[in-house]
Structure 1
Amino acid sequence: MSISAQSGLDPSATLPDQTMEDESTTHASRRDRSIKLAVVTSFLSKGGTILLQFLAIPIAVRVMGREEFGVYSSVSLALSTVALLEIGIGPALAHGLSKANAADDKLGRRELSSTAFFMMVGLALLAGALLATVLSSLPLTTLFGDKFGGLDSAMRPALWLGLVLFLLLFVLNLTDRIREGLLEVAATNTWGAVGNVLAAAAVAIGVGVFKIKEVWFLVLAIHGAVVVAKLGNTIGLWTKYRDLIPSIRHVRRSVARHLFGDGLAFSTCCLLVGVVEYNVCGWMVGHELGPSMVALYGVFVSLTINQLGFVIMLSTPTWPAVAEAIARNDLPWARKAAKKLYLYGSVFALCSAAGLVLVGPWALELWLGESFSNISRGMLAAYGFYVIAHIWRHLNHALTIGVGKVTRLARVQLIETFILAIAAWAALRYGGVGPMLFAMGVTILAVTGWILPRLVRKELSQESAASGD
């Protein structure tokens, strides 16, 4: 007789716990692997970004001139509003896919992807109709300010072409959200690198070699290349996962209500963040100081996006993985991932701000030419402070989404954005761009920078207590 039998123990009694432990370890390893692969492929994407931002864009500035490039910046900032409209369903879609994958529910995955796709098509058509009405009925001086008078022939073609491209991005960006839910951010990063390389090549050849100085061409070269890459990513997704190909038969009203409800809350707050900090503030700078300062503000926006990109390369695969870990009740892994993300992002933000102050004036002149040689360290210090606040807010956004508190996030962000808009306007009007950036940073740290970390810590602590960890 075996020892276990003599002791009255059933050997099979430990098998379910052992199986669950092995399964948990397997899923944890998959999440770790997905994050590492996403980070590695992010460097590929960053390589394409470097080609575009630090080689191709300076060529465009030198050939077209600072004011003409400022016109392009104004067009891009205005049309980026369209892209912001689609991000709302991302958290709800990723959480839904995480739960469906945890339950091996392929029908649920297809209903989510199909419903989301046709929602995006409908919203794109609606957004396109509204923006087309605005562009066709209002003069550019009303939209961008009196200092843009006489630029109609340069801006109109660029705006109409950009509108078409951004509406395509509106729908194709959904693939990125689905990849996040499937923990396949690496595929999105790879295609992003392809898009950046194509854009850099188009700008370098079209503007640098053939001296095409039209604003519409710069819009086509940069944003058209991104559309091509997004299309490739979408085809790759549908080829790999046939069940995710959109089908009108799998559209569900209940799924649409869920996606729209969570999405409306999140997209409202994030739309306002982008509109206020990029579009409205850029518009205010144009009204107060003209195209030349819009060009500088556009450079700051590009730098912000590029710097944030080094944090996004970790946060983008981390928050869906945190959501999936919670869906599988693997809470220790979620807490560990959150701590790593906070640490990495905070250290990067501080180092980035210090670098801006120390070498910023020299680097900007080397990068963009003599027309950007008069940027003071005081201006860059104010911008660096804003970058720290911006990155800190992003970290808290990502983890608040990961723990599933999207509606609470939206409420807090709406309050912050309202206060920030007033503070930015007052600081710009009475101090200039530097004080405006500093006031924006102070507002961010005082609202989301204080409230959201406490919310994330509270939610993870509650989960810990509930799990007995």
Structure 2
Amino acid sequence: METETNTHGKRRDRSIRLAVLTSFLSKAGTILLQFMAIPIAVRVMGREEFGVFNSVSLALATVALLEIGIGPALAHGLSKANANSDAQGRRELSSTAFFMMMGLALLAGAVLSTVLSTIPLTTIFGDKFEGLDPVMRPALWLGLVLFLLLFVLNLTDRLREGLLEVAVTNTWGAFGNVVAAAAVAIGVGVFKIQEVWYLVLAIHGAVVVAKFCNTVGLWAKHRDLIPSLRFVRPKVARHLFGDGLAFSTCCLLTGVVEYNLCGWMVGRESGPSMVALYGIFVSLTVMQLGFVIMLSTPTWPAVAEAIARDDRPWARVAAKKLYLYGSGFALCSALGLVVIGPWALELWLGESFSNISRGMLAAYGFYVVAHIWRHLNHALSIGVGKVNRLARVQLIETFILAIAAWAALKYGGMGPMLVAMAVTIFAVTGWVLPRMVAKELKGDDVPI
């Protein structure tokens, strides 16, 4: 038994190391996109036009709210099936999840198409976007198609996590980032295509292509995971759907409120120019969080598998490493924003972003630290199988955060809004979740 436990522990360690290594490939593609292609788009299109693109992207990302994230239940289910050599269970989980997501994508498409066809854009984005309908509507329709495709294709990422094959997903992610960077640099920088719809196609379309290739590769390697209606089980669907609602609440709704809703409020309050800055902050948040996700993404499924095999000592060590790395990175990142942020942003994006104060960057850095701390606790809460309780706590936080952000923005501006968001995060999930995770990882007589 001891030898078998060591063998599985070494396999989990190896999968995490490989995932982190391949994450650097993905980050290299992200750097190409964020630090080379995006500045080209800003300079060619101008800050106002780029702000319109950010408004469109934030609106499209709201589609994620309708995607029921079934990742935790799927990963835990695959871990148990693999531990028990249950091939039938793997087939049922994969097929049921696939056809569930197909149905949800069709339903979401019908709802969102109706909204886009009947509601004026000024009603959604505000009066400051008057006259921009010809620019925004084609981009929104194109983006809707791409995001609905992601509904289904994102399932492959979840399956890879359950199989401890995150490294493969990272490799295809790097490919997608490189394609997106090339499409923006060539289309906008060389051929001077200044259409918002093209920027949507170049960036989000490349993601769809990469995820499609990842899906084909998964099915080629694991033929038992190819979807079949014969293996769809209502009982499995109910379990995935219920867990997915909780997962969506604790993760997707959080992003929608803090990225999309707050970006929308900034646009209505201050117009496209400030949305452009907020969009840059969102991009920086995603990029910085990505350096933590490259460790948290392979860690939480590995923790789930360790618990499934009753190997809690390994899970405790893995959790400590994740906490130390993520917290250290967040603090260093916030300090760097304050020290070199004004100079770096002007160098990166040009003179139109030369007036960003250190006070604004300090407020944003505070939010980044809170955001990353919460992500670490999200990941480990999911790993120890406490998704439902996590969802309840996160729902409370999100409600409070939305009100706090609105009040701070209205009476203080974007800087106070970021501070209010950070304080809310530390006060709710930042305090409750670490204690919950520690209790679940603690052994009978071994302190965490």
- Give the TM-score range, shorter chain: over 0.9
Change (3 A) 1:189 1:251: same
1:316-395 equivalences under 5 Å are 316-395=297-376
The alpha-carbon deviation at position 269 of structure 1 amounts to 3.1
1:234-273 equivalences under 5 Å are 234-273=215-254
1:213-292 equivalences under 5 Å are 213-292=194-273
Contact 1:82/1:170 (<8 A) preserved:
no
The Cα RMSD (Å) is 1.2
Contact 1:86/1:174 (<8 A) preserved:
no
Change (3 A) 1:47 1:284: same
Q: Which amino acid aligns with 1:93?
A: L
Query: What is the alpha-carbon distance in structure 1 between the residues aligned to residue 46 and residue 21 of structure 2?
Result: 36
**Could you say which residue in structure 2 is the equivalent of 1:17?**
none
Contact 1:88/1:268 (<8 A) preserved:
no
Q: Which amino acid aligns with 1:354?
A: L
**Could you say which residue in structure 2 is the equivalent of 1:202?**
183
**Could you say which residue in structure 2 is the equivalent of 1:406?**
387
Partner SS for 1:65: helix
Query: What is the alpha-carbon distance in structure 2 between the residues aligned to residue 106 and residue 394 of structure 1?
Result: 32
The alpha-carbon deviation at position 465 of structure 1 amounts to 1.0
**Could you say which residue in structure 2 is the equivalent of 1:173?**
154
1:103 to 80, 84, 94: 84
Q: Which amino acid aligns with 1:465?
A: D
Query: What is the alpha-carbon distance in structure 2 between the residues aligned to residue 197 and residue 127 of structure 1?
Result: 29
CA offsets 1:11-69 (integer angstroms, 9 cap, x no match): xxxxxxxxx11111111000000000000000000000000000000000000000100
Q: State the TM-score, normalized to the length of structure 1.
A: 0.94
Residues matched between the structures, number: 448
**Could you say which residue in structure 1 is the equivalent of 2:105?**
124
Query: What is the alpha-carbon distance in structure 2 between the residues aligned to residue 208 and residue 382 of structure 1?
Result: 33
* 1:25 and 2:11 correspond: no
The alpha-carbon deviation at position 88 of structure 1 amounts to 2.0
Contact 1:114/1:251 (<8 A) preserved:
yes
Q: Which amino acid aligns with 2:206?
A: A
Partner SS for 1:208: helix
Point out where structure 2 has 5 or more consecutive residues left out of the alignment.
none
Query: What is the alpha-carbon distance in structure 2 between the residues aligned to residue 353 and residue 416 of structure 1?
Result: 23
Query: What is the alpha-carbon distance in structure 2 between the residues aligned to residue 394 and residue 468 of structure 1?
Result: 23
Query: What is the alpha-carbon distance in structure 2 between the residues aligned to residue 466 and residue 241 of structure 1?
Result: 40
* 1:430 and 2:414 correspond: no
**Could you say which residue in structure 2 is the equivalent of 1:10?**
none
Q: Which amino acid aligns with 2:361?
A: L
Point out where structure 1 has 5 or more consecutive residues left out of the alignment.
1-19
Q: Which amino acid aligns with 2:112?
A: L
Runs of 4+ in structure 1 over 6 Å off = 466-469
The alpha-carbon deviation at position 81 of structure 1 amounts to 1.9
Contact 2:64/2:252 (<8 A) preserved:
no
* 1:308 and 2:289 correspond: yes
Query: What is the alpha-carbon distance in structure 2 between the residues aligned to residue 223 and residue 275 of structure 1?
Result: 17
**Which has the higher Rg, Structure 1 or Structure 2?**
1
Change (3 A) 1:171 1:466: farther
The alpha-carbon deviation at position 86 of structure 1 amounts to 3.2
Contact 2:68/2:245 (<8 A) preserved:
no
Q: State the TM-score, normalized to the length of structure 2.
A: 0.99
The alpha-carbon deviation at position 85 of structure 1 amounts to 3.7
**Could you say which residue in structure 2 is the equivalent of 1:9?**
none
**Could you say which residue in structure 2 is the equivalent of 1:3?**
none
1:465 to 423, 444, 447: 444
Instruction: Give the fraction of aligned pairs with identical amino acids, expressed as a percent.
Output: 84
**Could you say which residue in structure 2 is the equivalent of 1:12?**
none
Query: What is the alpha-carbon distance in structure 2 between the residues aligned to residue 183 and residue 337 of structure 1?
Result: 15
